[in-house]
Amino acid sequence: MRTSPSSRRRRSYLSCLAAALLLTTGAAVPAAPAALREVMFVGNNWAGTADVIESRGSFAHVGRVNIIPDKDDRLREIYLNPIKLAFFLGIRNGPGEGHDQFVDDMYTTPDGSSVVASRPSFADVVSIDLTTGRVNWRFPVSGFRSDHMAVSPDGRRVAVSASTSNTVHVLDIVTGQQVGSFTAGDKPHENVFTDGGRYLWNMSIGEVNTDLDDPGWDFTKGDRHITVVDAATFQQVKVIDMRPRLDAFGRRDLSDAVRPVAFTPDESKLYFQVSFFNGFLEYDVASDKITRLKELPKNPATSDDRTTFVNDSRHHGMSMNPAGTKLCIAGTMDDYATVVDRATLQQGTLVPAVKPYWATVSGDGSACVISEAGTDQVTAIDFATGQKRLSVPVGDHPQRVRIGHVPEGWTGPAAG
């Protein structure tokens, strides 16, 4: 495409001005921010990689990042420390289902230069440079396992659950420096920033790696509650124990271990899953009460033996469309996903999926994207119709799926 003489003169003038500034001040003119491309990161838990795919449309493959380029160094540390080794093997034989857990959660930095990921088996959080594939920084969490994360609305802080120390660390996403921390319930899990980043909610799930899953042994699962803190001071604002609220709702039979959650756009309602249950509940924040419950169909082929559920989660994964009118539910042990109308709680088509383990929203808000850990793919489901759009292959045992950004034209790191 040809440019006009006036455009050429303007560019020439700006170039001369920049050169003049450089000569007179000795300082370079700041470069314009690099153009960014919105994508989705899919964490391949067992492979230690993250697949990067389009965030909408075809969800085509863009690139792949090695999240464990320092694997040999980390394993050397672990094998030289008997206590670390015991926990490392415990993670492999417990939540890892016989595999090491190398990638749990991921978010990109605001400038799209790096991806920050939690690595359960290595009990840390790392920043990986998306150009070189190398580690920028590493933050070892307290205890012996890292888990779910959340990024603040401004993209500058990331919260990570340290599941064996009952602690949530909050880090500067660029430097990796801790800016605060707080104590949560037993086995902190999901984290969510609310009110524009003013508050941080953490949901603790208790012990999920034993076979003491009969309701009569519920007391062995530990202290499970929601902890809400001020995200600036990290002081506790309130604690929400769902046990008395479930009892008041008439469901003493349900676990009070809150799993994945979804807030309405105005944050007046919280939808949440609990251990062992094929469905979800609605919690009204202002009245502090559980207001509705939705029980979803059981798969006749799924055993009701609770000890066979992956980490106590019959259903694990939910998201809400931007309008707040539809919920997408991952029926993990029942091998389906479905879109539920929020007003009526009527479920749509049960879309077959093998061990769906997470649900998120496409970049354009039109589709729910689930990870199918059993078939190593992600599947997009239309929020409007409830029908499957397509599936794309990813790496070994995908779990968390997050929207992120990479530089325009990026196709993967040059190294690593």
The tokens describing 160, both together, are: 């990570």
Are 262 and 327 part of one and the same domain? yes
Are 64 and 183 part of one and the same domain? yes
In order along the chain (416 residues), what is the average pLDDT of each group of 10 residues?
A: 42 40 41 83 98 98 98 97 96 93 98 98 98 98 97 98 97 98 97 98 93 89 96 98 97 96 98 97 98 97 93 95 98 98 98 97 98 98 98 97 97 79
pLDDT, tens digit, for every residue of 185-216? 999 999 999 999 999 999 999 999 888 889 88
The per-residue pLDDT for 31 is: 54
Are 173 and 234 part of one and the same domain? yes
Are 198 and 302 part of one and the same domain? yes
* Residues 116, 259: Cα–Cα separation, whole Å: 22
pTM value > 0.85 = yes
Are 169 and 225 part of one and the same domain? yes
* Residues 134, 66: Cα–Cα separation, whole Å: 9
Nearest residue to 291 via CA among 225, 242, 224: 242
The per-residue pLDDT for 210 is: 87
Q: Is residue 416 part of a domain?
A: no
Are 113 and 176 part of one and the same domain? yes
Are 344 and 227 part of one and the same domain? yes
* Residues 147, 202: Cα–Cα separation, whole Å: 12
Cα 392 to the center of its chain, rounded Å: 19
Q: Is residue 413 part of a domain?
A: no
Are 137 and 37 part of one and the same domain? yes
Are 372 and 260 part of one and the same domain? yes
Residue 39 pairs with which residues in a beta bridge?
A: 54, 404
The tokens describing 68, both together, are: 């464990």
Q: Is residue 414 part of a domain?
A: no
Q: Is residue 276 part of a domain?
A: yes
Q: Is residue 27 part of a domain?
A: yes
Cα 381 to the center of its chain, rounded Å: 19
Q: In which residue are the tokens 């370079």 written?
A: 28
Are 107 and 191 part of one and the same domain? yes
Task: Find the domain containing 2 and state its range.
Answer: 1-32
Are 287 and 384 part of one and the same domain? yes
| Identity of the amino acid at 233 | T
CATH code for the domain of 159:
2.130.10.10
SS3 annotation, the chain: CCCCHHHHHHHHHHHHHHHHHHHHHCCCCCCCCCCEEEEEEEEECCCCEEEEEECCCCCCEEEEEECCCCHHHHHHHHHCCHHHHHHHHHHHHCCCCCCCCCCCCEEECCCCCEEEEEEHHHCEEEEEECCCCCEEEEEECCCCCEEEEEECCCCCEEEEEECCCCEEEEEECCCCCEEEEEECCCCEEEEEEEHHHCEEEEEECCCCCCCCCCHHHHHHHCCCCEEEEECCCCCEEEEECHHHHHHHCCCCCCCCCEEEEEECCCCCEEEEEECCCCEEEEEECCCCEEEEEEECCCCCCCCCCHHHCHHHCCCCCEEECCCCCEEEEEECCCCEEEEEECCCCCECCCEECCCEEEEEECCCCCEEEEEECCCCEEEEEECCCCCEEEEEECCCCEEEEEEEEEECCCCCCCCC
Nearest residue to 280 via CA among 254, 306, 303, 299: 254
Are 92 and 180 part of one and the same domain? yes
Long-range Cβ contact pairs of 380-389 (< 8 A, separation 24 or more): 380/59, 381/328, 381/337, 381/339, 381/351, 382/339, 383/321, 383/326, 383/328, 383/339, 385/348, 386/338, 386/339, 386/348, 386/349, 386/351, 387/349, 387/351, 388/351
227 to each of 202, 290, 369, how far by Cα in Å?
5, 17, 28
* Residues 82, 210: Cα–Cα separation, whole Å: 22
Task: Burial-class residue 134 by CB neighbours within 10 Å (0-12, 13-18, 19+).
Answer: middle
The per-residue pLDDT for 101 is: 97
Q: Is residue 412 part of a domain?
A: no
* Residues 34, 112: Cα–Cα separation, whole Å: 9
Q: Is residue 348 part of a domain?
A: yes
Total domains, the chain: 2
* Residues 72, 33: Cα–Cα separation, whole Å: 35
Q: Is residue 60 part of a domain?
A: yes
